[in-house]
Amino acid sequence: MQTTPSFSPLYSQIKALILRSLQAGEWKPAEAIPSEMDLAVRYNVSQGTVRKAIDELAAENLLIRRQGKGTFVATHSARQVQTRFLRLAPDSTGADENNPGSDTYAENGKNILVDRTITTCSRERATKDIAKALQLKTGDPVVYIQRVLAYRDGKGQSIPTILEDIWLAGNSFKGLNLERLAESKAPMYAMFEAEFGVNMVRASEKIRAVNPTPEQAKLLKVKLDEPLLRVERIAYTYNDTPIEVRTGLYRTASRHYKNDLQ
Amino acid sequence: MQTTPSFSPLYSQIKALILRSLQAGEWKPAEAIPSEMDLAVRYNVSQGTVRKAIDELAAENLLIRRQGKGTFVATHSARQVQTRFLRLAPDSTGADENNPGSDTYAENGKNILVDRTITTCSRERATKDIAKALQLKTGDPVVYIQRVLAYRDGKGQSIPTILEDIWLAGNSFKGLNLERLAESKAPMYAMFEAEFGVNMVRASEKIRAVNPTPEQAKLLKVKLDEPLLRVERIAYTYNDTPIEVRTGLYRTASRHYKNDLQ
DNA sequence: CAGTGGTCTAGACCACCAA
DNA sequence: TGGTGGTCTAGACCACTGC
Domain assignment present for A1: no
pLDDT at B80 (0 to 100): 82
pLDDT at A231 (0 to 100): 98
Domain assignment present for A5: no
Averaged pLDDT for residues A95-115: 48
CB within 7 A of strand C (chain A, 35-74): 35-38, 48, 51, 65-71
Q: Which of B43, B73, B103 is where one domain is finished? A: B73
Task: Report whether pLDDT(A98) > 90.
Answer: no
pLDDT at B23 (0 to 100): 95
| Segments of chain A assigned E as strands | 32-33, 63-66, 70-73, 88-90, 114-125, 141-152, 158-169, 202-210, 228-236, 242-250, 255-261
Put simply, whether the predicted model's pTM sits higher than 0.85 gets the answer: yes
Q: Which of A47, A73, A99 is where one domain is finished? A: A73
Q: What percent of chain A has pLDDT over 70?
A: 90
The helix (run of H) or strand (run of E) holding residue B12 is helix B10-24
Strand C closer than 7 A to residue B4 Cβ? no
Strand D closer than 7 A to residue B51 Cβ? yes
Quickly state the pLDDT bin for A112 (edges 50, 70, 90).
low
pLDDT at B112 (0 to 100): 57
Quickly state the pLDDT bin for A156 (edges 50, 70, 90).
confident
A96 and A51 within one domain: no
Cα–Cα distance, A125 to A243 (Å, whole number) = 15
CATH number of the domain residue B37 falls in: 1.10.10.10
pLDDT tens column, B82-95: 889 999 999 976 54
Domain assignment present for B3: no
Q: What percent of chain A has pLDDT over 90?
A: 82
In strand C, the nucleotides that come within 7 Å of a protein beta carbon are 3-11, 15-18
A122 and A190 within one domain: yes
Quickly state the pLDDT bin for B155 (edges 50, 70, 90).
confident
Quickly state the pLDDT bin for B4 (edges 50, 70, 90).
very low
Task: Report whether pLDDT(A2) > 90.
Answer: no
CA distance A125 to chain B (A): 25
Q: Which of B73, B92, B127 is where one domain is finished? A: B73
Closest by CA position to A30, among listed A71, A59, A58 = A71
Distance between the alpha carbon (CA) of B200 and the C1' atom of C8, Å: 33
CA B172 to chain centre: 15
Averaged pLDDT for residues B7-22: 96
Interchain pair A209, B250: CB under 8 A: yes
A98 and A53 within one domain: no
Domain assignment present for A262: no
Distance between the alpha carbon (CA) of A176 and the C1' atom of C15, Å: 50
CA B178 to chain centre: 20
Out of A227, A233, A258, the one facing B227 most closely (by C-beta) is: A227
B213 and B119 within one domain: yes
Contact predicate A128/A208, CB 8 Å: no
CATH number of the domain residue A110 falls in: 3.40.1410.10
Q: What one-character-per-residue DSSP string does A31-58 give?
A: SEEPPHHHHHHHHTS-HHHHHHHHHHHH
pLDDT at A94 (0 to 100): 52
A89 and A196 within one domain: yes
Cα–Cα distance, A234 to A104 (Å, whole number) = 22
Quickly state the pLDDT bin for B102 (edges 50, 70, 90).
very low
Averaged pLDDT for residues B126-140: 97
Interchain pair B208, A256: CB under 8 A: yes
Going from the C-alpha of A44 to that of each of A7, A57, A220, B213, the distances in angstroms are 19, 19, 57, 65
Q: Which of residues 223-252 of B touch A (CB under 8 A)?
A: 225, 227-229, 232-233, 250, 252
Task: Report whether pLDDT(B6) > 80.
Answer: no
pLDDT tens column, A55-71: 999 999 999 999 999 99
Task: Report whether pLDDT(B2) > 80.
Answer: no
Task: Report whether pLDDT(A107) > 60.
Answer: no
- Residue B65's nearest nucleotide, by CA–C1', is D5
Distance between the alpha carbon (CA) of A46 and the C1' atom of D10, Å: 8
Residue A125 vs residue B113, higher pLDDT: A125
Domain assignment present for B262: no
Domain assignment present for B2: no
pLDDT at B206 (0 to 100): 98
B58 and B181 within one domain: no
Task: Report whether pLDDT(A48) > 90.
Answer: yes
B51 and B159 within one domain: no
pLDDT tens column, A209-220: 999 999 999 999
pLDDT at B83 (0 to 100): 87
Under 8 Å CB pairs connecting chains A and B tally to 99
Closest by CA position to A17, among listed A32, A29, A7, A44 = A44
Task: Report whether pLDDT(A154) > 90.
Answer: no
Task: Report whether pLDDT(B67) > 80.
Answer: yes
Quickly state the pLDDT bin for A93 (edges 50, 70, 90).
low
A245 and A150 within one domain: yes
Quickly state the pLDDT bin for B221 (edges 50, 70, 90).
very high
pLDDT at B93 (0 to 100): 63
Strand D closer than 7 A to residue A12 Cβ? yes
Averaged pLDDT for residues A180-202: 94
B259 interfaces chain A, CB cutoff of 8 Å: yes
Cα–Cα distance, A100 to B90 (Å, whole number) = 32
Strand D closer than 7 A to residue B48 Cβ? yes
- Lowest average pLDDT, out of A28-32, A153-157, B74-78, B241-245, goes to A153-157
Residue B89 has φ and ψ, to the nearest 5°, of -115, 150
B contacts of A203 (beta carbons < 8 Å)? 260-261
Residue A147 vs residue A4, higher pLDDT: A147
Domain assignment present for B179: yes
pLDDT tens column, B196-219: 999 999 999 999 999 999 999 999
- Total count of domains within chain B: 2
A59 and A29 within one domain: yes
Task: Report whether pLDDT(A104) > 50.
Answer: no
B115 and B49 within one domain: no
B208 interfaces chain A, CB cutoff of 8 Å: yes
pLDDT tens column, B160-180: 999 999 999 999 999 999 999
B155 and B226 within one domain: yes
Domain assignment present for A31: yes
Q: B51 is in which domain, residue-wise? A: 10-73
Interchain pair B207, A229: CB under 8 A: yes
Interchain pair A259, B207: CB under 8 A: yes
- Residue A66's nearest nucleotide, by CA–C1', is C5
A125 and A240 within one domain: yes
